[in-house]
Amino acid sequence: MKKIALTLSLVIFVLVSCEKKGNNGKTVGETKEAHVEATSSTTWHYFSFENNGVTGTGEENETDNAAWFGRDDWDIAISRYSIRTNSGSATTINSRGGVYTYDEETTFSSITEVPADVEFSSDEPVTTSGHGGTTTTIKSAATVIVFQTNEDGSRVMPPVYLQAPVYIFRSADGEKYFKVLFTQYQNDESVSGHVKFDFAEIE
């Protein structure tokens, strides 16, 4: 009987140790690390927080976008440094994802709850100009990295990459919240699109 009690105690300890309580008593889930190889700027990698993995990929075209915008089994998608959430113009089934961006001073570890007055932004069409003309892409305001800019707002060249702020992403069903810190954009060979991030559920 003593051995059984001891075993149960150990099991309970392990389960409890996977979570930590914030200063306000809120529960923050175990921090996990994810890796997404999003080296192509025309391919989206659709990621599920619940499954901690990529659900599938789709090209940036009307057919693939329509297929993925009709699914609720992904929460965010990554293409190079761009991010989608399952929300707004990126859903045709009224999924309720979204993103909230913290200021530069907020650290990942300091976040223990979703702010009471938080407003989540949804994906919208964004038009950019380049050598090939203008392109319109549906995506969120969040990015994997931040480019250093000049005083006039133009990018410093060659590009200088800065760490993106901490985000809270809302799940596609609108019922779960995950704090996310992107920790890597390039691999050891300086190849862009090798994305790593830490995330934890906030209850």
Per-residue pLDDT tens for 79-127? 999 999 999 999 999 999 999 999 999 999 999 999 988 899 999 999 9
100/145 Cα distance (integer angstroms): 15
pLDDT of residue 4: 38
Residue of 157, 154, 92, 165 lying closest to 123 (CA atoms): 92
- Which string of DSSP letters, residue by residue, matches 56-122? EEEESSHHHHHHHHT--S-SEEEETTEEEESSGGG-SS----EEEE--TT--STT--S--TT---B-
What is the residue type of 148?
Q
pLDDT at 42 exceeding the cut of 60:
yes
Provide the token pair at 75. 């929460």
- pLDDT of residue 17 exceeding 60, the answer is no
The pTM for the full model equals 0.83
pLDDT in tens, 124-149: 999 987 777 889 999 999 999 998 88
pLDDT on residue 28: 67
pLDDT digits (tens, 9 = 90+) for 30-41: 999 999 999 999
Nearest Cα neighbor of 29 from 197, 195, 177, 183 is 177
Please give the Cα distance from 149 to 154 (Å, whole number): 5
